[in-house]
Structure 1
């Protein structure tokens, strides 16, 4: 089972940060993303590698509520990135300090010089690439609908028309919803009400109790959730093109990006990356891009977003 979290299983209805009427979704989503990313547009002052080595430590920010990337179980940090953090501590010749933050403020904190980088399950997006570079991806992030296991009304994308969807506030899943909106409109359908949540366990709880028709998440957590609770949830249709998960590094820290790229290559060469991918994701990803992602244009070419 997935770990119990402090926000899961609420009984007083959804606790969205916003609900959008379907007719105004495109304009509303643009305003929401702009507000979420406002602090990310500030000049990043995070330390580059030389300063980190001189002071003797690097500060990384992680989250605790996004299995299987990062979560808490029995009071301890677990997940792919928790194991990677231990590998990084063995690899680095300086101390690695970690602080666990809520997802909604994590990237803003990194961009505002509170931490040197984010070691978490962060999907690549156009907005984030304007503030961060990414190490080479370590997981796929194509988006899928999650439905209730007993819901026979959803089998393909067309069936999602006019249904209520849950998604995490400030996430790439939210920013790429226009792809689904276009898919639906091309076949005469329309995107229904969009409800934003602070964390995914909240959304999954409301899906299970019928307050939502479906939730959108990326491939790895979808597979994990469905495998852990097959009597409650089922995997629905893909609702986006290709996507990637990686570690964001501030753009003014190119040496740190190179260092973390070398660390990832080290994990590939010794086989540890594939082991951890199999352990936490149920599969390895040998064909992901091997270079850091530094621009929107590069990302679009790799993900086929301009086709």
Structure 2
């Protein structure tokens, strides 16, 4: 990085409140974090913005050094990536239609049709919800996978789904901004975290980005940006990088 004079990073284009395009310009929590990184680094930060589907493969291919995006840590991703200290919580929650009062408890999800983003950690962690339901003699209903969360939200609003499962920050933003259409339900996973993925072959880069995240935390800037974009500061996040499945399972209670 320092020798060549720049760091090449990739960021998603449509994952509010982390990343989004408004009036042709990028904004969001990650956009503000990258702006801080540009001040912190002694070299240039070259950033490309792209759809989620090609983002992590582009990092693995070597086109980019890291993905500075709202990625959720998972056991599958830890096979190829290490993660910086988390920047936000990513426990998964249900989203319902505001006027649908038929679902009040976990038991009410029995057999209901749900939507989830394809290839997401929300999809990978649905077995946790299935286990919650099984304890009460209930079962997971039909699972419909979508290319993006906004597509799932549209089908929920139109009555094609009974609920959607997604990470906390996105669920909170949607249900706050569109409270007449959607309401936030219950947590359906153990703890989860948003963090930046770095290839396992890049320990020096992981150390640099981890030091940057700690700098933001100690200066109060991380809490300030969390308050700006999530409406709350997240003070109980782990402070260390996440580098192994065993470490992650201990943090999240995943079996």
The alignment's TM-score, normalised by the length of structure 1, stands at: 0.82
Counterpart pick for 2:109 among 151, 160, 164: 160
Cα distance in 2 for residues equivalent to 1:175 and 1:209 = 25
Any stretches of 5+ residues in structure 1 without a counterpart?
Answer: 1-51
Give the secondary structure class of the aligned counterpart of 1:122: coil
Match of 1:192 in 2: 141
Cα distance in 2 for residues equivalent to 1:287 and 1:185 = 30
Counterpart pick for 1:92 among 41, 53, 61: 41
Alignment RMSD (CA, Å)? 0.9
Q: Give the Å deviation of 1:305.
A: 2.1
Counterpart pick for 2:53 among 104, 109, 123: 104
Q: Give the Å deviation of 1:265.
A: 1.2
Cα distance in 2 for residues equivalent to 1:155 and 1:255 = 48
1:262 aligns with 2:211: yes
Q: Give the Å deviation of 1:271.
A: 1.3
CA contact (8 A) 1:157 1:238 kept: no
Counterpart pick for 1:278 among 221, 224, 227: 227
Q: Give the Å deviation of 1:56.
A: 1.1
Give the secondary structure class of the aligned counterpart of 1:224: helix
Any stretches of 5+ residues in structure 2 without a counterpart?
Answer: none
Match of 1:123 in 2: 72
Runs of 4+ residues over 6 Å off in structure 1: none
Cα distance in 1 for residues equivalent to 2:137 and 2:63 = 47
The alignment's TM-score, normalised by the length of structure 2, stands at: 0.98
Cα distance in 2 for residues equivalent to 1:235 and 1:156 = 12
CA contact (8 A) 1:104 1:169 kept: no
Match of 1:137 in 2: 86
Q: Give the Å deviation of 1:186.
A: 2.0
Q: Give the Å deviation of 1:175.
A: 0.5
1:295 aligns with 2:244: yes
Match of 1:221 in 2: 170
Cα distance in 1 for residues equivalent to 2:200 and 2:75 = 14
Cα distance in 2 for residues equivalent to 1:276 and 1:188 = 42
Q: Report how many aligned residue pairs link the two structures.
A: 255
Q: Give the Å deviation of 1:155.
A: 1.0
Q: Give the Å deviation of 1:105.
A: 2.0
Q: Give the Å deviation of 1:100.
A: 1.1
Q: Give the Å deviation of 1:82.
A: 0.3
Cα distance in 2 for residues equivalent to 1:61 and 1:170 = 18
Give the secondary structure class of the aligned counterpart of 1:89: helix
Cα distance in 2 for residues equivalent to 1:220 and 1:156 = 21
1:178 aligns with 2:127: yes
Cα distance in 1 for residues equivalent to 2:23 and 2:105 = 38
Match of 1:42 in 2: none
Q: Give the Å deviation of 1:111.
A: 1.3
